[in-house]
C-alpha cells in the first residue's frame, strides 16, 4: 500500500551514524521530523543535522517517544533486532539492508512546481525507482500553474450538479493538455 504521511513535528530514530543515516536524516528533516541519532560513531554532518545525538550503541529504551525508526548500522544482526523491537512497539520501521523486514520503505521522490511524485519498486530495487523518477522528472513541464488550477477547482466545488461536473471536466482537460496527455482518457 502506498501512502503519504504527515509526520511533521514527530520524532524519528536513526540507529547508525554513517552515510545511509545521513541520507535518511535529510529526508526526515525535510519532512519536518526531529531526528535522534544513536550510534557509537556519527558523521559530523549528521551530528549537525540531528536534533539529538547519542554516541553509544542502541538500547531498547531509545524507541520511547519516537514514531519512526530507521535501522542503518553496518550490522545486519543489530538492524534486525532494532526492527524487531520497533515493530513490536507498533512503530514505522525501515531496515536499510532488508526492506522486507520493516514496514516502511523510502521511495525515490521527484518534486517540480508543487507536484510531488514518489516511485518505489515491488522488487526492492531502489536503483530502478531512482531511474524511473529521473524519467518522470524529464517528462514533466518546467512549471505548473497550480495556483490557477487550485482556484478553478475551488470555484467548481462551490457549484452544484451538472455545472460542477462540467467545471471539473474542463479543469481535468486543462491539466491533461498541460501535461501533453490525451484528452479522451480524462475519465
Q: Are residues 57 and 100 in the same domain?
A: yes
pLDDT tens figures, 74-125: 999 999 999 999 999 999 999 998 988 999 999 888 888 888 899 988 767 8
Residue 150 has pLDDT above 50, yes or no: yes
Q: Are residues 133 and 150 in the same domain?
A: no
**Phi, psi dihedral angles at 185 (to 5 degrees):** -90, 15
pLDDT tens figures, 158-178: 999 999 999 999 999 999 999
Q: Are residues 172 and 87 in the same domain?
A: no
Mean pLDDT of the chain: 93
Separation between Cα atoms, residue 77 and residue 17, nearest integer Å: 16
Q: Are residues 102 and 16 in the same domain?
A: yes
Number of domains in the chain: 3
Whether 1 is covered by a domain: the verdict is no
- Degrees to nearest 5, angle at CA 55 with 92 and 25: 40
Residue 186: per-residue pLDDT: 45
Q: What's 97's DSSP letter?
A: T
Q: Are residues 130 and 170 in the same domain?
A: no
Whether 164 is covered by a domain: the verdict is yes
Q: Are residues 126 and 168 in the same domain?
A: no
Q: What is the CATH number of the domain that holds 58?
A: 3.40.50.720
pLDDT tens figures, 9-19: 999 999 999 99
pLDDT higher at 86 or 139? 86
Q: Are residues 119 and 174 in the same domain?
A: no
Separation between Cα atoms, residue 4 and residue 59, nearest integer Å: 29
Q: Are residues 96 and 20 in the same domain?
A: yes
Separation between Cα atoms, residue 161 and residue 165, nearest integer Å: 6
Query: Could you tell me the residue range of the domain that residue 17 belongs to?
Result: 11-106
How would residue 36 be classed by pLDDT, with cut points 50, 70 and 90? very high
Check if the beta carbon of residue 152 is closer than 8 Å to that of residue 160.
no
Q: Outline where 65-125 has alpha helix (H).
A: 76-88
Q: Are residues 17 and 44 in the same domain?
A: yes
Amino acid at each position: 500500500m502506498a501512502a503519504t504521511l504527515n509526520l511533521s513535528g514527530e520524532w524519528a530514530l536513526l540507529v547508525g551514524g554513517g552515510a545511509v543515516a545521513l541520507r535518511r536524516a535529510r529526508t526526515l528533516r525535510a519532512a519536518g521530523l526531529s531526528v535522534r541519532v544513536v550510534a557509537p560513531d556519527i558523521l559530523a554532518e549528521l551530528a549537525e543535522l540531528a536534533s539529538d545525538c547519542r554516541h553509544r550503541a542502541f538500547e531498547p529504551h531509545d524507541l520511547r517517544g519516537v514514531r519512526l525508526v530507521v535501522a542503518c548500522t553496518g550490522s545486519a544482526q543489530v538492524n534486525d533486532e532494532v526492527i524487531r523491537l520497533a515493530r513490536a512497539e507498533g512503530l514505522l520501521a525501515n531496515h536499510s539492508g532488508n526492506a522486507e523486514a520493516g514496514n516502511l520503505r523510502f521511495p525515490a521522490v521527484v518534486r517540480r512546481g508543487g507536484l510531488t511524485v514518489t516511485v518505489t519498486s515491488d522488487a526492492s530495487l531502489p536503483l530502478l525507482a531512482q531511474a524511473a523518477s529521473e524519467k518522470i522528472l524529464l517528462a514533466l513541464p518546467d512549471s505548473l500553474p497550480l495556483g490557477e488550477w487550485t482556484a478553478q477547482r475551488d470555484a467548481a466545488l462551490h457549484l452544484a450538479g451538472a455545472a460542477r461536473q462540467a467545471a471539473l471536466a474542463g479543469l481535468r482537460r486543462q491539466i491533461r493538455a498541460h501535461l501533453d496527455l490525451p484528452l479522451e482518457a480524462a475519465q
